[in-house]
Amino acid sequence: MHNEHSDACPVHVSFVDSHTLFLYILSTLRISQGGFLKRFFNFVKIEHTLFTLPLIYAGFFLGLQQPPTVSHLVLVLAAAVGARTTSFALNRIIDREIDKRNPRTSSRELPSGVMSLGEAIGVLAAGCTLYFGAAWLISGFCLLLSPIPLIIFVIYPYMKRFTMYAHFGVGLGMSMAPLGGYFAASPSFTNMLPAVFLCLFTIFWGAGFDIIYATLDEEFDRSERLYSFVSRLGKTRALLWSSLFHLIAFISLVMLFVTTIRTWFALPFLLATGGMLWLEQHRSENVELSFFRINAALGFVVFAMILFK
């Protein structure tokens, strides 16, 4: 099989090819003892995919010039799941010793011994296989760029060891989702301004809510000399910066709306996104609500806005 693609559509494989890829990954996950799949889903926090999955498809539909095929949609999903699995596995493996010392995270699979390091590396390998395989099947262009997100995924877990700007590592990693979706639909660097605005939104949205999440570990991070806005500036000042980052995120989304979307049908979703970002800041004391629930819904609201372009 070769990696040539036409201008009309970068996907050059059938649905059977993508289905075979899924079956291969599932078979690698089932070789371990019973219960591994449950540990796997807990290990990679599969529910956090809700943060980035709608943004991947937002970027995809932003760059789309013609109706997508089923195989195209499935391959984008496969790449998303593979990248998400790889990112979380790397994060958990790199941070396993820190997680062991943190009372909040000591019960995670690696620190607690529920999952072995070998199994975690196996999950990492499966995620990489799915990600690179899907990128290859989408287009040669996507395969060529596919190592870039992985470089970011490797670097950002280490950032909290030396800079409080580690929150932007999270945002930058998340921004690979809409950018990857855009390139899956439009495999070139031309007319990228809409994708840039969506990536800027994602970077500052991710950095802002990661500061909120970091409030859970304020004292631990100080004791371990780990860097975050919260541990270095204090909770009050850190949340002010989080608010500013979310304001910049909303402005980036407004620029996307003004330059690209420009339909009244999309306006309610833009305003809803602004309202949700405000609510996330207003309820930042309730991390379960502000970090998990609001963010899980916010990406879908942005995706809905993109659909009306």
Q: What is the pLDDT of residue 29?
A: 46
pLDDT at 2 over 60: no
**Residues 55 and 299 sit within 8 Å (Cβ to Cβ):** yes
Domain ranges for the chain: 15-307
Summary count for the chain: helices (H), strands (E): 17, 0
Closest alpha carbon to 26 in 67, 80, 82: 82
Banded pLDDT at 36 (limits 50, 70, 90): low
Cα 225 to Cα 83, 162, 228, 231, distances in angstroms: 30, 9, 10, 8
The string of pLDDT tens digits covering residues 154-200 is 999 999 999 999 999 999 999 999 999 999 999 999 889 999 999 99
Q: What is the pLDDT of residue 65?
A: 86
Residues 228 and 211: their CA atoms lie apart, in Å, by 7
pLDDT at 135 over 60: yes
Q: What is the pLDDT of residue 296?
A: 86
The string of pLDDT tens digits covering residues 63-102 is 998 889 999 999 999 999 999 999 999 999 999 999 999 9
Kind plus residue range of the DSSP H or E element containing 170: helix 166-185
Could you say which DSSP state residue 291 is in? I
Q: What is the pLDDT of residue 7?
A: 42
**Residues 211 and 166 sit within 8 Å (Cβ to Cβ):** no
CA atoms within 13 A on the CB side of 19: 4
Chain mean pLDDT for the chain: 88
Instruction: Region of 234 please: left (phi>0), alpha (psi -120 to 50) or beta.
Output: left
Name every residue whose Cβ is closer than 8 Å to that of residue 197 and which is 6 or more positions away in sequence. Answer: 252, 253, 255, 256, 259, 260
Could you say which DSSP state residue 264 is in? G
Could you say which DSSP state residue 225 is in? T
User: What is the pTM for the complete model shown?
Assistant: 0.86
CATH 3.40.1160.10 fits 15-307, yes or no: no
Closest alpha carbon to 89 in 125, 113, 140: 125
The first and second tokens of residue 203, run together, are 């970077």
Q: Taking CA 308 as the corner, what is the angle to CA 302 and CA 309, rounded to the nearest 5 degrees? A: 95
**Residues 48 and 295 sit within 8 Å (Cβ to Cβ):** no
Q: Other C-beta atoms within 10 Å of 165: how many?
A: 14
Name every residue whose Cβ is closer than 8 Å to that of residue 149 and which is 6 or more positions away in sequence. Answer: 83, 87, 173, 176, 180
pLDDT at 31 over 50: no
The string of pLDDT tens digits covering residues 100-123 is 999 999 988 898 888 889 988 998
The string of pLDDT tens digits covering residues 273-302 is 999 999 999 999 999 888 888 988 999 999
